[in-house]
Amino acid sequence: MDKLIKRLRELGFSEDVLIKLGSIRKDELMHMNSRELAEFLGVKRREALRILEVMFKIYTQEMYLPASSLSGRRRISLGVTALDRILGGGLPLGSIVEVFGEPGVGKTQFCFHLTARKFAALGFSKKAAYIDAEGSFSPKRLREVLEGNGVHPDVAMREITLIKPKSTAMLYASLLDLWDEFENYDLVLVDSLLALPRLEYHGLDMLAERQQMLAKILRLMLKISGKGILVLFTNQTIGKITSSEGKDAAGGFIVGHVPGTVLQIRKAAGGVRVLRIVDSPELPEAEALFKIGRKGLIGVTRRS
């Protein structure tokens, strides 16, 4: 807490606020949302948000569970035998997953499918948040995939929070809103992470600023995933945003010890897609085939 208070003092927060803040335990503060904190400190919600933001930044490293604790987690099965096999039964709740691949390869279809599978696997007790940052959300197609996975589309659509941010700042703000009610969700999708930043930050001179913003977004996604939520984002270009070793355009800014899985989708002959585990804290590198069909992701039979 000392570090946090020192930093907030540097940022000009009043001593009154800092004294009140000093009376909360760190673990209590970590579980507060901006509404609760604003009320407790008697400050505006905006200020409370700022405090939480500074706190996330300082405590990010400590908040995440070691990757080894992933293995016992509940998973969202993809319902495609070959994919579930390499994924150890599906994608684990409480983790962050990056899906990358070239345009048109099926990343958005993967998101629709995962949304449907979430309801199929976990029921309706919690919601899914779908952040459509590239404008490719299709309710009609999603309903088809829901139905294809045995999920009632009318019921499921009510349990999906669709967010269409128009700027990177709005994307960040929508994640903050989700953090504020994390207990209502078990799946958060961001499709795609770089769509908006790429429009807003041009060229090399804005690269540092863009990376900073992305790092902020990523930290918040990590924080949300730390609450037992599966956070999945797509990325058109280079993978390994979550990896610490990246020297790629989009990586390299990062947050070590992320319990993150990096998946790549690529095209193969005959409409077949290959899903590859590029990086995982718990799984070996592996590949499996699938296709995109009316029902969403489907298995590839030997003859097809």
Are 1 and 55 in contact by the 8 Å Cβ rule? The answer is: no
What's CA 142's distance to the chain center, in Å? 19
CA distance 52 to 179: 11
CA distance 265 to 256: 24
Are 64 and 259 in contact by the 8 Å Cβ rule? The answer is: yes
CB of 103 to Mg ion, least distance (A): 7
Sign of CA dihedral 218, 222, 223, 225: positive
Sign of CA dihedral 99, 103, 106, 110: positive
Interactions with ligand GTP, residue window 279-298 (CB under 6 A): 292-294
Q: Which of 33, 60, 95, 109 touches ligand GTP by CB under 6 A? A: 109
CB of 47 to ligand GTP, least distance (A): 37
Interactions with Mg ion, residue window 111-170 (CB under 5 A): 136
Question: What Cα–Cα distance (Å) separates residue 248 from each residue in 50, 59, 68, 280, 301?
Answer: 30, 25, 27, 18, 36
Q: Does 69 bind ligand GTP (CB under 6 A)?
A: no
Q: Tell me which of ligand GTP, Mg ion, none is bound by residue 104, counting a contact when its beta carbon lies within the kind-specific cut-off of 5 to 8 angstroms.
A: ligand GTP
CB of 103 to ligand GTP, least distance (A): 4
Q: Does 237 bind ligand GTP (CB under 6 A)?
A: no
Alpha carbons within 13 A on the beta-carbon side of 223: 28
What is the Cα gyration radius of the chain?
20
Q: Which of 136, 184, 237, 244 touches ligand GTP by CB under 6 A? A: 136
Count residues contacting ligand GTP (CB under 6 A)? Answer: 15
DSSP reduced 3-state for 233: strand
Q: Does 242 bind Mg ion (CB under 5 A)?
A: no
Binding mask 100-119 for Mg ion (x = CB under 5 A): -------xx-----------
Q: Tell me which of Mg ion, ligand GTP, none is bound by residue 109, counting a contact when its beta carbon lies within the kind-specific cut-off of 5 to 8 angstroms.
A: ligand GTP
Task: Name the site residues for Mg ion (rule: CB under 5 A).
Answer: 107-108, 136
Give the residues lining the site for ligand GTP (CB under 6 A). 101, 103-109, 134, 136, 141, 236, 292-294
